Structure 1
Amino acid sequence: MDLMQAHYGTVMKAFCDSRVVPFFGAGVNLCDRPSSGHWQDNGYLPSGTELSEHLAANFNYQPSDSTPDRCPKCQEEVHIVGVRERRDLTRVSQYVSLDSGLGPLYEELHNVFVPDGGAKKYPTTSLHRFFAGLRAALRERNYPRQSHDPSRSHMVIITTNYDDVLETAFNDIGQPYHVVSYMAEATKNRDEDQPLRWKQGQCLHWPPDGGPPQVVDKPNVYQGLNADNHPVIVKIHGAVDRNNPDHDSFVITEDHYIDYLTRSDISNLLPAPLPAALRRSNFLFLGYGLRDMNLRVILHLIRRERVLSYKSWAIQ
């Protein structure tokens, strides 16, 4: 057996033992997508770079001063720093929030991820469909064979993407699932005399039965995930809610990431039994670049929480 086959065997055993937690980055949405053509023209989700350029164009982003250079192919004058800044989603989003406000930023993001007012949905990819059907496929083969550990009773998928394509993949095969999403902003009830529906930094939990979301106010003793062993989609940087824009949440600006790092640790953020599962799992990072702010934040949180080491893998 060569080294690569041995490595695949290690990864597959971790999957069969329910020890793998996949992390979905923006790059997963490029799976099955043609290399040519504009994302909007072809009906595909944007990459992180494309989303940044879209926001920069729509909100007239003005990059900092940069020294002009010339394209080696066409000799056209270009501003290299300006181009790089327009592709920096965190920086561009911070500009939009300061120049126009979070409201317009959230509205534009909702329109991107829920096109045509919800009349259209983005297509699923083979990767989304694979993970949506993975739990059932493993059970057909009698895996996992040791399932008494409550921290591994659910298949957990972590995503830093804001779209709902993964949910679509689960819905298409009739697989029930939970959604837990981080709320980057506090929201008030319509009656201003009532307390906050949720505080900044809390999570909302959407149950598999389609009922209204529940606030995870005490993560360590939360019981909402204990009624079944359906898969759990965890949106640690928030997400769009196509049915109710008031539930939209996006950790996307520089201020959001600073706040996220100062307030968030896994034990006080996610409902039980998810923190225990994350502390005792192998991670599979999919679609992240080494410069991604998302990945850097995740690795920071992992280092703060783990006691024992578990190998992780990455596919960019």
Structure 2
Amino acid sequence: MDAITISSVTKKFGSFLAIDDLNMSIRDGEFFSMLGPSGSGKTTTLRLIAGFEKPTSGTIALHGEDVTRKAPFERDVNTVFQDYALFPHVTCLDNVAYGLRVRGVPKAARYKRAHEMLDLVQLDAKAGNKPSQLSGGQQQRVALARALALKPKVLLLDEPLSALDMKLRQQMQVELKHLQRELGITFVFVTHDQQEAMVMSDRIAVFNKGRVQQMGTPSEIYDRPANMFVASFVGTTNFIPESVVSKNGMESGHYSIRPEHILFSSPSASISDKEHVSIPVTVFDSTYLGTEYRLLVRTGKGTTFTVVRPADEVVPERGSQVAIRWRKDDQVRLASVKGE
């Protein structure tokens, strides 16, 4: 049985259409991410699952039970917010035990559970500290422990890593994924960071303008984007000009090619064949990034392509006139954007 089933859900705020006829299922025990830019509908969807908002139409089911009109406390979910929402005047232990106290769990039992959860996130040694005495990453883990103390079947995470610096953020991504695998419960994670979603998720739903543009595994989303929005939002891509499409005998439409699939060759090799596309270009920028080179090249008609090559490869210098080349099998034909 799916953990969450969203059926024909629409959400309006006045005249603004936030969610447009959404149908989506989230599997039991998976790490599922909702990815998209600000205003795309991902956070509204999370709030609908949590019960903080009610849909204008449609239904939401948790493990087969219709919870569309149920209050948040009547749903077997818990939420970790972006600002953690810890009580500053009490200890970490009391923060973690708070939900259990509200539910009437006896003192000894709730503190035992709170210690277990702090130990799970490797913070039991800080049980007596107040939140102000912890780092941002530690506060985030206390918020996680508090949410997990109630043993929810689904944990909702609303951009909980956005306030952390990059290094700590990357560390917490690994820790979150490890924690989810250890517990085996469903995590639903909201983020606008496509790399974050790719690192942690079993599956990703890419949102834009209140609709899911594509849903799939990280590799499916990246290697076979469904449309121009997904191709441009997830990773870096190059859109192939119509002039190149028609010249190379491809069916009319929108195509993209990822930068790492493009190779360099000599200008004399800029002749396409049945399996490859080749274009003469000029290199106008080259950046060394430690593990790779990122180069910008321009065609005679002014189209810019991004090319990524490994750091141990010899790449052309700025100003060089070369050819770029890729396999037709590596390019992707893109559908129109949903909702437009």
TM-score computed with the length of structure 2 as normaliser: 0.26
TM-score computed with the length of structure 1 as normaliser: 0.27
Higher strand share: 2
More RCO (CA 8 Å, sep 6+): 1
Higher helix share: 1
Max radius of gyration: which structure?
2
